[in-house]
Amino acid sequence: MSTTSVDIDVDAIAPAAESKQNSNKIEAHRAGAEIFAGDSILCKNKCIELLEGLELPLGLLPLENLSEVGYNRSTDFVWLKQKKKTEHTFQKIGRLVSYGEEVTSFVENRRMKKITGVKSKELLIWITLSDMYVEDPMSGNITFKTPLGLSRNYPVSAFQLASADVDAYNAQKQPVEAVVPSGEGN
What does the pLDDT look like over 106-135, one tens digit per residue?
Answer: 999 999 999 999 999 998 999 999 999 999
CATH of domain 15-158: 2.30.240
What does the pLDDT look like over 67-86, one tens digit per residue?
Answer: 999 999 999 999 999 999 99
What does the pLDDT look like over 131-165, one tens digit per residue?
Answer: 999 999 999 999 999 999 999 999 999 999 877 66
Is the CB of residue 58 less than 8 Å from the CB of residue 47? Answer: no
Residue 107 carries which DSSP code? Answer: E
Q: Dihedral of CA 107/29/86/121: which sign?
A: positive
pLDDT at 10: 39
pLDDT at 171: 74
Length of the chain, please? Answer: 186
DSSP E strands: which ranges in the chain?
34-37, 66-72, 77-82, 86-90, 95-108, 111-122, 125-128, 131-133, 141-145, 151-155
Whole-Å CA distances, 148 to 87, 112, 117, 131, 185: 23, 16, 16, 11, 65
Using left for φ > 0, alpha for ψ between -120 and 50, and beta otherwise, residue 149 falls in left
Confidence (pTM): 0.79
Separation CA 59–CA 5 (nearest Å): 46
Please, which residues bridge with residue 81 across strands?
68, 102
Please, which residues bridge with residue 77 across strands?
72, 106
